[in-house]
A and B are shown apart, each in its own frame.
Chain A
Amino acid sequence: MMHFDPTLPLKYWDALLIGLWMSLRLTLICLVLGVALGFLTSQARRARFAPLRALAGLYVELFRGTPVLIQLFWIFYCLPLLLGFEPGNFASAVIALSLYAGAITSETFRASLKSIPREQYDTCRALGITGMSLALWVVAPQALLRAIPTLLSNAVALFKESALISAVGMADLMFIGSSISNRTGRPVEMLTAVAIIYFGVAFPLTRVVGRVEARILRRLAV
C-alpha cells in the first residue's frame, strides 16, 4: 500500500499561488479582449457587406472547429515566422486565447441578439426609432442582459482552457503543478491539489451563473 501525504501541496503553496495568479490574469485579460472582439464579430456577421460577413463567419467557424491546443501551437510557432519577430510568450498566449474567446463569445452575442423579438423592431420603426438609437437604447441593453449568464459560462470555459498554455511552457497553475509533481515524484498529491484549486475557482463561478440566470429570467418575464 502506498502512503500519501496530503499536506505535501501545502509546502509549495507559494509556487502554486504564483501559477494561479498567472492563470487568472491571463483569463481576465483575454476575457476582456475576447468579449470586445466577440461583440464586434457578432455585429460583423449581421453586416450588409457580404465579404465582411463571410470573413467573420470563417473566423468563428475556424476557431470553434479546431482544437484550442493547435490554435495555441500555431500562434506560438507559426505566427513569429510570418511576422518576422517574436511577440513573446505572454503576448502570444494573450493573442491565442483572446481569439478563441472572441469566437465563442460572438456566438453568445449572436444568440442573445436573435432572442430579441421581431415585434420590437417593428415597434421601433413605428415609433421612428432607427439606426444608432435603435442599436444603443433598444438592442444593446437587452442583448447584453441576455448574454450575461452565457458570458459567465464562457469565462469559466476560458479559465479551464487557459491550462493549455502549460503545453507551450508558460508558468501557469497547470505547469507549476505538474513540474512539482514530476520533481517530487508525487503526482497523486500534486495533481489532485491542482485539480482542486481549478475546481475551487470554477465551481463557485458556475453557481453564480445559475443565480444570475434565474434573476435575469425573472426580470425579462415581467
Chain B
Amino acid sequence: MNYDLQFFYVWQNLDKLGQGLLISLELTVLANLIGLSLGFVIALMLRARTVALRAPASALVEVFRCTPVLIQVVWFFYCVPILFNLFVDPMVMGVLALGLNLAAFNAEGYRAAIQSVPREQYDACSALGLSGWTRVRHVILPHALRAALPVLMTNGITIFQQSALVALVAIPDLMYEGKMLATETYRPIETYTVVALIYFAISAPISLIVQRIEARFDRVQA
C-alpha cells in the first residue's frame, strides 16, 4: 500500500460533518417520535376485531417491511408531491418515509410484546371493571412498552443508520456531507472512515445498552 493518509482536510471540515450529523439526528428523533406513537396505534389496530381496522394496518406494515427503504424514501420524494399535490420541505418527506417505516417495524415489536401480556391480566381487568382505554393506558401499554423496549431501541438505532439514505435525494445529512467532502478533497478513505466512525460512535453505546437490558430480562426470566 502506498497511499498517504492525510486527515488534515477532514479535520478542517469537521464543522460541515457536524452540521450533517445534526440533520441525521433530527431525522432520527422525529422518525422515532412517529415510529413509537404510530407503531403502538398500528399494533392495537392489528389486534382489532373489525377487519376495517385490521386490514389497513396490516397492509401498511407489510408494504413497509417488504420493500427496500431506499424505494420508500425515493417514492416519498418523487411520487407523493405529484399524487397529493404536496410540495413541502424535503426534510418533511424524509421524516415521513423513515417514520412510517419505523412505525411498521415497531408495530411488530409492540404486537409481540402485547401478546406476551399474560391472559390473567385481562381477566383481572375484567374483574376490576377496567375496560377500553383505561385498560390500554394503564395495563397493556406499560407492560408492552417494557417488554418491547429492546426491540424499539434496536429499531430506533437502525433508523439512524437508514437515515443515511436521504443523502441520495440530496438532503444534506452526515452521509451527504461526507460524500461531498470525499469528492471535493479526493480523500475518500479518510472521509468515509471518519463518517463511518461517527455513525458507529452513536450506534454502539445504544446497542450496548440494549444488550444490557436484554441480559437483565433474561436473568429475570430465568
Q: Which residues does A use to contact B, with CB under 8 Å?
A: 2, 61-62, 64-71, 73-74, 77-78, 81-82, 84, 156, 160-164, 166-167, 174, 177-178, 181, 187-188, 191-192, 194-195, 198-199, 202-203, 206
CB nearest to B75 among chain A residues? A191
One of B13-21, B34-42, B145-153, B193-201 at the interface: B193-201
One of B46-54, B117-125, B133-141, B160-168 at the interface: B160-168
Tell whether, in the assembled complex, residue A174 and residue B188 are in contact, meaning their CB atoms are under 8 Å apart.
Answer: no
Tell whether, in the assembled complex, residue B192 and residue A195 are in contact, meaning their CB atoms are under 8 Å apart.
Answer: no
Tell whether, in the assembled complex, residue A82 and residue B161 are in contact, meaning their CB atoms are under 8 Å apart.
Answer: no
Residue-wise interface mask of B (68-79) relative to A, using a CB-CB cutoff of 8 A (1 in contact, 0 not): 111110110011
- The CA of A62 and the CA of B65, in the complex, are separated in Å by 24
A166 contacts which of B70, B78, B179 (Cβ < 8 Å)? Answer: B70
Majority-rule SS of B interface residues: helix
A69 contacts which of B65, B72, B78, B165 (Cβ < 8 Å)? Answer: B165
- The CA of A84 and the CA of B2, in the complex, are separated in Å by 8
For residue B209, CB closer than 8 A to chain A, the reply is: no
Tell whether, in the assembled complex, residue B67 and residue A67 are in contact, meaning their CB atoms are under 8 Å apart.
Answer: no
Tell whether, in the assembled complex, residue A67 and residue B162 are in contact, meaning their CB atoms are under 8 Å apart.
Answer: yes
Known: A77-B192, A177-B71. 11 other contacts (CB 8 A): A69-B165, A70-B175, A77-B182, A78-B188, A84-B1, A163-B71, A174-B71, A178-B74, A188-B82, A191-B71, A202-B65
User: Smallest distance from the beta carbon of B197 to chain A beta carbons, Å?
Assistant: 8
Which residues of the partner chain B approach A73 to less than 8 Å between Cβ atoms?
A: 179, 182, 188, 192
Tell whether, in the assembled complex, residue B193 and residue A78 are in contact, meaning their CB atoms are under 8 Å apart.
Answer: yes
Q: Which residues does B use to contact A, with CB under 8 Å?
A: 1-3, 62-63, 65-72, 74-75, 78-79, 82-83, 161-165, 167-168, 175, 178-179, 182, 188-189, 192-193, 195-196, 199-200, 203-204, 207
CB nearest to B164 among chain A residues? A67
Tell whether, in the assembled complex, residue A202 and residue B196 are in contact, meaning their CB atoms are under 8 Å apart.
Answer: no
Given known contacts A78-B189, A187-B82, is B66 in contact with A66 (CB within 8 Å)? no
Which residues of the partner chain A approach B200 to less than 8 Å between Cβ atoms?
A: 61-62, 65-66
Tell whether, in the assembled complex, residue B79 and residue A187 are in contact, meaning their CB atoms are under 8 Å apart.
Answer: yes
- The CA of A203 and the CA of B65, in the complex, are separated in Å by 8
- The CA of A202 and the CA of B162, in the complex, are separated in Å by 19
Tell whether, in the assembled complex, residue A77 and residue B66 are in contact, meaning their CB atoms are under 8 Å apart.
Answer: no
Which residues of the partner chain B approach A194 to less than 8 Å between Cβ atoms?
A: 71
A198 contacts which of B71, B165, B192 (Cβ < 8 Å)? Answer: B71
Tell whether, in the assembled complex, residue B75 and residue A192 are in contact, meaning their CB atoms are under 8 Å apart.
Answer: yes
Which residues of the partner chain A approach B65 to less than 8 Å between Cβ atoms?
A: 202, 206
Given known contacts A198-B67, A199-B67, A203-B62, is B164 in contact with A69 (CB within 8 Å)? yes
A66 contacts which of B3, B67, B161, B165 (Cβ < 8 Å)? Answer: B161
CB nearest to B3 among chain A residues? A81
Given known contacts A77-B182, A82-B3, A198-B68, is B196 in contact with A70 (CB within 8 Å)? yes
